[in-house]
Structure 1
Amino acid sequence: MTENYVLTEDLAYIFKKLSAQEKEKFKDTSILITGCGGFLGYYFMHFFAQYANDLGINKIIALENFLTGTKDWLDELVSSSDKIKLYEFDVIKDDIGQIEGAEDVDLVIHGASIASPTFYRIYPLETVDANIWGMRRLLDYYVEREIKGFLFFSSSEIYGDPFPEFIPTPEDYRGNVASIGPRACYDEAKRFGETLCYIFNQKYNMPVTIARPFNNYGPGMNVNDKRLPADFAKAVIDNRDLKIFSDGTPTRTFCYISDAITGYLKTLLHDQFDVFNIGIDKPEVSVKQFSEFFISHGREIFGYEGNIVFEKSSDSEYLTD
């Protein structure tokens, strides 16, 4: 494989951030990860491939339906590691029991879900089904097996539009969320997925933990993803203007992928039911400030010639929750 120095440095950072006790929990384990071809899957897969021997991992079972995930880098990764078994698999309808070695899995990472608003509005039912029926099928399969950890990827979107006094948002905030609207398929599916996690822990004592990501960014994000970092990056690559479909004042924080993956792994290995926000509190950056970062560095590195352009989206529901 061609070495990516940023990725290599990030993976070493993640490994270093795990405690000796956390590393020990990977020894002699088999890991199953759904949605392995997505943005987060890119780092999980590379991390496990890179450090499988150091951590004593026996096998990584990687599942992906390739609706939005990519396959080229996965094929390359599989060919470089005898620890990885890749299967084209739809968590909504396919039988996990038919996957060789699934019954012996110790750690489960359920990351199969569309996360880009553009795409989950195109595939709303698939988004709902992956987080509810796909989640339920996995829980039903592993409830009677002695797994050590089950990580469900929820989302910061379950908080909806928090009132100002709840920003930064604590994990016990119940949310201000619309159950009907263009984004509801994602937000409400994640909320219901969390309810399933809670029920299976309470009723069967399953070691389920929940991660709520806040705006991760970094290598591995598809430039056609349509989320803000990817959208701006693609505009710079294509030497197009950066289009902002608001007044540029909305703010958010951005958590770099290596910090986020470190948090997700710690959540996976937590051993008991809990919920964790994975992100950073500061700095809070406006969309306009974020675009200016791409403008300045794009010009310096790529000779970018575009500018910031404020437009009204042709989509009447673009800013609707």
Structure 2
Amino acid sequence: MSLRITVTGGAGFLGSHLCDRLVAEGHEVLCVDNFFTGRRANVTQLLPNANFEVLRHDVTFPLYVETDHIYNLACPASPIHYQFDPVQTTKTSVHGAINMLGLAKRVKARILQASTSEVYGDPEVHPQIESYWGRVNPVGPRSCYDEGKRCAETLFFDYRRQHGLDIKVVRIFNTYGPRMALNDGRVVSNFIVQALKGDDITIYGDGNQTRSFCYVDDLVDGFLKMMGTENGFCGPVNLGNPVEFTIAELAEKVVSLCGGRSKVVYQPLPQDDPQQRQPDISVARERLEWEPKVALSDGLKETIGYFRKVLA
């Protein structure tokens, strides 16, 4: 069945891949983006399609459209971008959630919130499970993003309790793939760009902190499965790859795959940067029948190929 689907942040890294998949499935897709971090180049391939439309709009202002499903992905997600204007970042998460929930309430749409593993902060529980309340610094330089996303989750569940809204909440762990921004400061794109340029690979901290890396195609599968759940299941659900790597191991893999001679240099760890990040995906396996399929080496090859073209 063809649906009218709105994707906020639709020209961003994750949003553009989601738009690709939804259009391929025959849906009418409205991509909503203010192009702060999203890029028109990410959705150029979709513009000739009659089922695809782009609207330049900031979700901190109300949106009036007709839609069946809403994916709320709008928010800068890398520290460089979300710390550039932290007040606006919080507004995007909080006012954006209020406006998109208001839209969903008016048109009786199902709405999915793209939350984040950052709601767990620098965790004392490892791996992180959905029932863990987190350890977040409410006044630090990352708080605009962490607390903004936590508040958005609160709003989603309050709209469900108060208005009976059909909500879905997913918590995204580190995701990578083609269309990541060159300058977003994320570890995968940083390492790849540095290696392809022959620059030193910069590791913040001692390199023993861990992350788990999910390829973008796997994450989009999780989005679609979550949006398709019935029987009132609303989450939150962790979406990420449970295979854990140290940052030093990631650097070694990237240098090997890029074929460069970059050497590793170490810089101080930023404030409140979490030491461990690994999802427990038991709920996703059980309720969504979802788990990642793409191995890190395979996903890195695709991502490196993309960045080679961009840098060329």
Q: If the TM-score is normalised by the length of the shorter chain, which range does it land in?
A: 0.7 to 0.9
For structure 1, which runs of at least 5 residues remain unmatched after alignment?
A: 1-26
Deviations along 1:184-232, one digit per CA (max 9) or x if unpaired, are 0000000000000001101111110101001011112122221000111
Aligned position for 2:46: 77
Instruction: Give the 5 Å matches for 1:177-196.
Output: 177-196=136-155
Deviations along 1:98-132, one digit per CA (max 9) or x if unpaired, are xxxx22x1000000001001111112112111110
Mapped pair 1:307 → 2:263 = yes
Q: 1:305 deviation in Å?
A: 2.4
Counterpart residue identity of residue 179, structure 1: P
Taking every aligned residue pair, what percent have the same amino acid on both sides? Answer: 30
Partner-residue secondary structure (3-state), 1:69: coil
Mapped pair 1:296 → 2:256 = yes
Shift of the 276–309 alpha-carbon distance from structure 1 to 2, 3 Å rule, reads same
Aligned position for 2:19: 45
Within the candidate set 217, 241, 245, 1:280 is matched to 241
Deviations along 1:258-303, one digit per CA (max 9) or x if unpaired, are 1111111111222432210001222x1111111000111111xxxx
Mapped pair 1:129 → 2:88 = no
Matches of 1:204 and 1:256, distance apart in 2: 35
RMSD: 1.4
Q: 1:73 deviation in Å?
A: 3.3
Counterpart residue identity of residue 86, structure 1: V
Aligned position for 2:63: 96
Partner-residue secondary structure (3-state), 1:274: coil
Partner-residue secondary structure (3-state), 2:217: helix
Partner-residue secondary structure (3-state), 1:263: helix
Aligned position for 1:139: 101
Counterpart residue identity of residue 195, structure 1: T
Give the TM-score, by structure 2 length. Answer: 0.84
Between Structure 1 and Structure 2, whose CA radius of gyration is higher? 1
Instruction: Check conservation: 1:109, 1:152, Cα contact below 8 A.
Output: yes
Instruction: Check conservation: 2:13, 2:42, Cα contact below 8 A.
Output: no
Aligned position for 1:6: none
Mapped pair 1:62 → 2:31 = yes
Aligned position for 2:72: 110
Matches of 2:85 and 2:177, distance apart in 1: 24
Matches of 1:141 and 1:44, distance apart in 2: 20
Instruction: Check conservation: 2:42, 2:179, Cα contact below 8 A.
Output: no
Aligned position for 1:20: none
Give the TM-score, by structure 1 length. Answer: 0.81
Matches of 1:143 and 1:71, distance apart in 2: 29
Instruction: Check conservation: 1:64, 1:89, Cα contact below 8 A.
Output: yes
Instruction: Check conservation: 1:223, 1:233, Cα contact below 8 A.
Output: no
Partner-residue secondary structure (3-state), 1:115: coil
For structure 2, which runs of at least 5 residues remain unmatched after alignment?
A: 274-312
Matches of 1:235 and 1:310, distance apart in 2: 14
Partner-residue secondary structure (3-state), 1:219: coil
Counterpart residue identity of residue 152, structure 2: G
Counterpart residue identity of residue 84, structure 1: F
Partner-residue secondary structure (3-state), 1:244: strand
Aligned position for 1:12: none
Partner-residue secondary structure (3-state), 2:92: helix
